[in-house]
Amino acid sequence: MNDLLPLLKTRIPGPQSRVLAKQLRRYESRNITYVAEHWPIFWKRAAGANVWDVDGNRYVDLTAAFGVASVGHGNPRVVAAVKAQADELMHAMGDVHPNELKLRLARELVELTFGRWSKSAGRVIFANSGAEAVEAALKTATIHTKRPGVIAFEGAYHGLTYGALETTWRPDFRKPFAKQLGRFTTHIPFGSLPLVGRDRRARRSRSGRLGQPSLPKPIDYYGAVIVEPIQGRGGIVVPPDDFLSNLREFCDEHGLVLIFDEIYTGFCRTGKWFASEHWGVVPDLVCVGKAMAGGFPISACVGRAEVMDSWPESNGEAIHTSTFLGNPLGCAAALAAIGEMKRMKLDVRSRDLGDWLTKRLAQFGTVRGKGLILGIEFAETRDGGARPPGAPKSSVISGRPGGPPLPVQLVEKLLQRGVLALPEGDRGEILGVTPPLVITEKQLGYCLDVLIALCQK
């Protein structure tokens, strides 16, 4: 396994990265790529948990590029599958004349989810991005229940297309579009259960202590609950242990479809194949994407057959489809990536490395998450610096007073040392650790030492 540590040859970002960033600024919507004195680097190639930039600098990646590269960047078997498929068939007619790989992947996804969870039949709607998988789930719930309302959670991130954004929580993403949003979604605190009538369970539950939010509309207005079993971009938040099972009961009692968004947490990220397995709760629909194809953009909504079969039979015109649906390259990549997850037992590896890392991080700060989706909390100090909670007073990372939250500043400092990391949380107040699941202890240990050194400066 590729086991390299960072090797920096230029100042970061290097001269080539700086030139390219300047040019990109001229042609790409200015809202997209953040360009600043110390940001970004341009990636040239990547393998395993290593990334090389255009200036020849080598990094260790603690992000898996938004949680995608679980089987390792440029996983050789995934690359070979995509190359072979590209030679044979790059594009078919998703909902008209399909290709066999779409069938094979649909079967694999159903077997991995509802087949394993409840030995029940399932159906798949393919898409290209996470947000689109969420759109498919929201539409499925509406088709099934004929009710428009959706209950989502504060801190939730489900993507940025209009339907998904409607359920995403973050105020800064919603603000410019606020007048178009808020039509069918009610957000309640993550971990809580809505209080409906004299709902005794809500009162009993630990989550009830979070305030038992009541809903602004009658319960029969709502057709779905959408939830991340562990919130990712919201700051790596693990809910109370009874939360998902209470949600399941709530949905069963009131006839709502329960949607798990496992786009970030799925495919071994949390130490299980899917995060919901930590609590043994089975949803009606599950959204997957990101790591599913080792870097190829493909996603899916997988659902229990009884719910999915509320969609009308196609009469030659699908009412929900897209041009690239079930694209052969994406399907080939996903089948190979899932094969790699099984071959390398990445669920077990993620759990073991996560346990090891959590123990090492515990002496350093407060850590939350499961497997290799971990978040480090920092206590901010008055001068704009921060220190890991519980660490001695001398362990202060000096910050810029009034500057961004410390993890945001730390991420820049880590980049200077050859470690790629990202902040998570609404304000970037959490340092995320979501590396490729093939990362080694040596690489993780190195990153930790860099982090500790930065914190002791």
Ligand X SMILES: Cc1ncc(COP(=O)(O)O)c(C=O)c1O
Nearer to ligand X, 68 or 396 (CB): 68
Q: Are 385 and 457 in contact (CB under 8 A)?
A: no
Nearer to ligand X, 41 or 226 (CB): 226
CB of 134 vs ligand X, minimal distance in Å: 6
- Can you tell me the distance from the alpha carbon of 164 to that of 161, in angstroms, rounded to the nearest whole number? 5
Nearer to ligand X, 49 or 165 (CB): 165
CB of 297 vs ligand X, minimal distance in Å: 7
Buried b (16+ CB within 10 A) or exposed e, 379-390: eebeebbbbbee
Structure tokens at 238: 């693990």
Nearer to ligand X, 228 or 377 (CB): 228
CB of 164 vs ligand X, minimal distance in Å: 7
Nearer to ligand X, 43 or 66 (CB): 66
CB of 6 vs ligand X, minimal distance in Å: 25
The HSE-up count of residue 331 (CA atoms within 13 Å, CB side) is 26
Q: Other C-beta atoms within 10 Å of 111: how many?
A: 11
Longest dimension (CA), the chain: 70
Structure tokens at 381: 């100090």
Residues 6+ apart with CB under 8 A from 336: 75, 77, 78, 80, 81, 82, 294
What secondary structure letter does DSSP report for 314?
P
Nearer to ligand X, 261 or 340 (CB): 261
Name the residue whose CB lies closest to ligand X: 130
CB of 101 vs ligand X, minimal distance in Å: 21
CA distances from 182 to 59, 175, 193, 448 (A): 42, 11, 20, 42
- Can you tell me the distance from the alpha carbon of 438 to that of 46, in angstroms, rounded to the nearest whole number? 13
CB of 427 vs ligand X, minimal distance in Å: 17
Nearer to ligand X, 131 or 419 (CB): 131
Nearer to ligand X, 85 or 129 (CB): 129
Which residues form the interface with ligand X (CB under 6 A)? 66, 129-131, 134, 157-159, 228, 232-233, 261, 263-264, 289
Nearer to ligand X, 64 or 450 (CB): 64
CB of 71 vs ligand X, minimal distance in Å: 17
Residue whose entry in the numeric block shows the structure tokens 């087949």: 115
CB of 107 vs ligand X, minimal distance in Å: 23
Nearer to ligand X, 259 or 396 (CB): 259
Q: Are strands 185-188 and 149-153 parallel, antiparallel or unpaired?
A: parallel
Nearer to ligand X, 49 or 226 (CB): 226
CB of 438 vs ligand X, minimal distance in Å: 20
Task: Decide: residue 249, CB within 10 A, 0-12 exposed, 13-18 middle, 19+ buried.
Answer: middle
- Can you tell me the distance from the alpha carbon of 128 to that of 426, in angstroms, rounded to the nearest whole number? 25
In terms of phi and psi (left: phi > 0; alpha: psi -120 to 50; beta: otherwise), the region of 445 is: alpha
- Can you tell me the distance from the alpha carbon of 65 to that of 48, in angstroms, rounded to the nearest whole number? 12
Residues 6+ apart with CB under 8 A from 27: none
CB of 414 vs ligand X, minimal distance in Å: 20
Structure tokens at 388: 């890991």
CB of 227 vs ligand X, minimal distance in Å: 10
| Three-class SS state of 197 | coil
Q: Other C-beta atoms within 10 Å of 99: how many?
A: 19
Give the DSSP letter string of 201-232: HHHHSGGGGGT-PBPSS-GGGEEEEEE-SSBS
